[in-house]
A and B are shown apart, each in its own frame.
Chain A
Amino acid sequence: MFMFKLSKTLALTIVIALTILALAGCGQTQSTGSSSSSSSDSSQQAKSDDVIKIGTLGPLTGNTATYGISTKNGVEVAVDEVNKAGGINGKQVKLFSEDTRGDQTEAANAATKLIEQDKVIAIVGGVLSSETMTAGPIANDAKVVMISSSSTASGIPDIGDYIFRNCLSDDVQATQLAEYAAKDLGLKKFAIMFTNNDYGLSLKNAFEKKAKEVAQVVDIETYNDGESDFRAQLTKIKGFNPDALYIAGYYTEAAKIAQQAQEQGLKVQILGADGFYSPKLVELGGKAVEGAIFTAGFFADDPAEAVQNFVKAYKEKYNAEPDMFAAQAYDAAKILLSAIKNANGAGGEALQAEMAKTRDFPGITGNTSFAENGDAVKDIIILKVENGKFTKLR
């Protein structure tokens, strides 16, 4: 009996210890960093009115967490900069981060919590297009400005007047790449593989439409987020003997697709979109991604001072290279914080009006203006993987 009690106690102790460890770990990877700690210090001294509350929503856990964490990190760097410079009109910015787990229902819950409970005046998010599609209408109805830094699917700016985005739309980047691949690279036969979500579908539709105009689309295959084995699709594609394979998805799967294409002896030009932009693409894909060409909104090796300052600050804070998600989130936060300053710290209609006025905002992802519907108007960069590094083609 004593032994049973002891083993029960031991088991309970182990479970509690593991839980504490897990929570401690979560604190490390998901804390809002110095932005929240600096603001929490000030909030102890002053009322909550003396801070400006903004939120982020995106996947911090689940199989798209890597994108959500990069986005949150990018926003934190921007908030840190503003707070260190004295805040906005003397007020510190406090950041609230909500985890959507990449799930649409959770995204709606996260938006509701940020608006109703945390009383934020603006949100940077969602990360995935599907999240923004569900969280957007909630923010719009509450007259809370929401700026997504990575939801590229068509239809997002049409959610409402309070919804903005700071990224290249799928239509623009897929269309331009199809044209570039056919006219400048002389590619004639395209195969497409797309991830089965709003982002992948939107890219696929735009690329397919343009590619059919300027060349030929021989095969279209699909896959799911988090999938690992693509050989069956690639074997089928190989049978059509294409010149290029356009992967409408993120770097995590793209790296594996490129590797498995190489294993299958499928010699094609790999093409992609802004979801490719991450140092992880080369780390995961190795030689298989050598020569891959993709559209992007950010280039970390850009010698511009603002870009290099951001890269340095990001590396110092997170001991990692910033990816496209982090860079676009940083710019989105900077645009938002600038508009908040111009609106004298107010939210609602005043902030929406200031956001809509944004013209040629000098960001690290290029100069940004907002079209009438809140969509970003900015230049497209075309990058290539050469010797394990990204080089600018256009």
Chain B
Amino acid sequence: MFLLIRISQQLINGLSIGSIYALIAIGYSLIYSILMFSNFAHSSFLLMGAYTGFYILILLSSSFPLSLLIAMLGSGILAVLIEKIAYKPIRDRGNPTLYFIIASMGISIFFENFIICTIGPRFRSYPRIMQTTFVELGKLNISVMDIYAAVVAIAFLLMLSYLIEKTKVGIAIRAASFDLEVVGLMGVNTNMLISIVFLIAGILAGLAGEFLGVKYTVYPQLGYITNKAYIAAVFGGLGNLKGAVLGSILLGLLEALITGFLSSAMRDIFVFCLLILVLLIKPSGLMGIQKQDKV
């Protein structure tokens, strides 16, 4: 019985962090599915959300849902701006994918240090919103903030699923993930489509950023969590949205269970070894499809 409670609590812990990973991993996968590069500037979108939400709550004393909305918009706009300023010129010149990756890494480093230099390196605490209140289910403890974050994350993932599966924009995104050039030839404004993809990725990262800020604290290195989400996206199959969610949930659960039943010191070793193993057996990830390059 005691073991069952411990397992259940660790599963809750894993699902909680996994749902945050999912919001970030989907952004990685969306961008990868269309532009075929890993956008390491994703951490900047997350930071934008965390800091925007923080200052909206502190300076305007606004409600949490309003600050969440503004944080998401802020991150979405930043994502679109970065795409227009940094990636579009590379795309227009037909430069190789490596250029995108280098540019994205540069943006990530710049943005983190820009925050350190302007706002400062200090850890900042969000106003207390449901922060340390928890629901007791028998011997299990679930944070109210975690429930709220999970519900909002699921709601947004369902909305995104509807957008991708049932709308014209979604069909265009899915088509572009097969061949962006052909989609352009068929009359779709590919620049607009890419902007929409970045907007969605930014909005989801902003959402994750504010939740992370509220649950923990805001600091310039908060964006490092996107590294784990990237691993989750690769784990599930980079470019596959369902795979990104599955990979994130599995990664969250794995981390919690390894820490809880083996050792916290061994957690990252196990996770990375498992990732290597998955990539050796199935290089495209759990749900990724092996693509053959057409010559």
Chain A bound to chain B: yes
- Residues of the B chain whose Cβ atoms lie less than 8 Å from the Cβ of A196: 265
Contact among B113, B128, B221 for A63, CB-based, below 8 A:
B221
Q: Can you list 29 A-B contacts with CB-CB less than 8 angstroms, sorted by A residue number?
A: A8-B89, A29-B116, A62-B121, A62-B221, A65-B220, A69-B121, A196-B265, A221-B259, A221-B264, A222-B265, A223-B264, A231-B13, A232-B259, A233-B259, A235-B256, A236-B6, A255-B123, A255-B125, A256-B216, A256-B217, A262-B134, A263-B141, A263-B143, A264-B134, A264-B141, A265-B134, A280-B122, A284-B217, A288-B132
Minimum Cβ distance to chain A for residue B243 (Å): 23
13 extra interchain contacts, Cβ-Cβ under 8 A, other than A14-B85, A22-B113? A18-B110, A29-B116, A66-B121, A222-B264, A229-B17, A231-B17, A235-B9, A235-B13, A236-B261, A255-B125, A263-B134, A265-B136, A283-B125
Is there a chain B Cβ closer than 8 Å to A25's Cβ? yes
Verify A231–B256 contact, CB threshold 8 A: yes
Smallest Cβ-Cβ distance to A256: which chain B residue: B216
Chain B residues numbered 122-165 whose CB sits less than 8 Å from any CB in chain A: 122-123, 125, 128, 131-132, 134, 136, 141, 143
Chain A residues with CB under 8 Å of B178's CB are: none
Chain A 213-245 residues near chain B, CB threshold 8 A: 221-223, 226, 228-229, 231-233, 235-236, 238-239
Whether B216 pairs with A229 at a CB distance below 8 angstroms is yes
- A288–B125 CA distance with the chains assembled, in angstroms: 13
Contacts of B257 in A (CB 8 A): 232
Min CB gap B9→A, angstroms:
5
B30 to chain A, nearest CB (A): 24
Cβ contacts under 8 Å, A14 to chain B: 85
Asked whether A352 is an interface residue with its Cβ less than 8 Å from the other chain, the reply is: no
Of B117, B134, B219, chain A has the most CB atoms within 10 Å of the CB of B117
Q: Is the CB of A21 within 8 A of B118?
A: yes
Closest chain B residue to A26, Cβ basis: B117
| B2 and A286 within 8 A (CB) | no
B141 adjacent to A228 (CB under 8 Å): no
Cβ-neighbour of B132 out of A28, A226, A263 (below 8 A): A263
Q: How far is the CB of B155 from chain A (nearest CB, A)?
A: 22
Rounded to whole Å, the gap between the CB of B177 and the closest CB of chain A is 27
Could you tell me the distance between the alpha carbons of A236 and B264 in the complex, rounded to whole angstroms?
10
A29 B120 Cβ-Cβ under 8 A: yes
- The residue on B at minimum CB distance from A8 is B89
How many Å from the CB of A224 to the closest CB on chain B?
8
* Interface size band for A: 35 or more
Contacts of B85 in A (CB 8 A): 11, 14-15
Which partner residue on chain B sits nearest A225 by CB separation? B221
* Complex CA distance for A21 and B143, rounded to whole angstroms: 40
Q: Is B16 an interface residue (CB 8 A)?
A: yes
B260 at the interface (CB under 8 A from A): yes
> Is A252 close to B, CB under 8 A?
yes
Q: Does A132 contact B (CB under 8 A)?
A: no
B99 on the A face (CB < 8 A): no
Residues in chain A near residue B14, CB distance under 8 A: 232
Assembly CA distance A233 to B221 (angstroms): 22
- List residues 233-277 of chain B with CB under 8 A from any CB of chain A: 255-257, 259-261, 264-265, 267
| A265-B141 in contact (CB<8A) | yes
Q: Which residue of B lies closest to A231 (CB)?
A: B13
Question: Which residues on the B side are within 8 Å of A176 (C-beta)?
Answer: none
List of B residues within 8 angstroms of A287 by Cβ:
132
Other-chain residue from B16, B89, B122 in contact with A231 (beta carbon distance below 8 A): B16
Within the complex, what minimum Cβ distance (angstroms) separates A194 from chain B?
A: 10
**Chain A residues within an 8 Å CB radius of B13:** 229, 231-232, 235
A23 within 8 A of B: yes
A61, B89: Cβ atoms under 8 Å? no
For A239, the chain B residues whose CB sits under 8 A away are 2, 6
* Chain A residues in 8 Å Cβ range of B17: 229, 231
Assess whether A286 is in contact with B264, with CB atoms less than 8 Å apart: no
In the assembled complex, the Cα of A113 lies from the Cα of B261 at a distance in Å of: 47
Q: Is A259 an interface residue, CB under 8 A from the partner?
A: yes
Contact with A along B178-198 (1 / 0, CB 8 A): 000000000000000000000
A235 with B6: CB separation less than 8 A = yes
Q: Which residues of B sit under 8 angstroms from A280, Cβ to Cβ?
A: 122-123
B225 sits at the interface (CB 8 A) = yes
Q: Which positions 212-231 of chain B face chain A at CB distance < 8 Å?
A: 212, 215-217, 219-222, 224-225
Please determine whether A29 and B89 come into contact, CB atoms closer than 8 angstroms.
Answer: no
CB-CB under 8 A from A221, the residues of chain B are 259, 264
Contact check, A232 vs B2: say whether CB atoms are below 8 A apart: no
A286 touches B131 (CB 8 A): yes
Query: Any chain A CB within 8 A of the CB of B104?
Result: no
User: Does the CB pair B141–A286 fall under 8 Å?
Assistant: no
Which of A22, A30, A222, A263 is within 8 Å of B114, CB to CB? A22
With known contacts A259-B131, A263-B143, A11–B89 Cβ distance under 8 A: yes
B10 interface hit (Cβ, 8 Å): yes
Check A235/B121 contact, CB under 8 A, given A8-B89, A11-B85, A223-B264: no
A30 to B120, CA, bound (A): 10
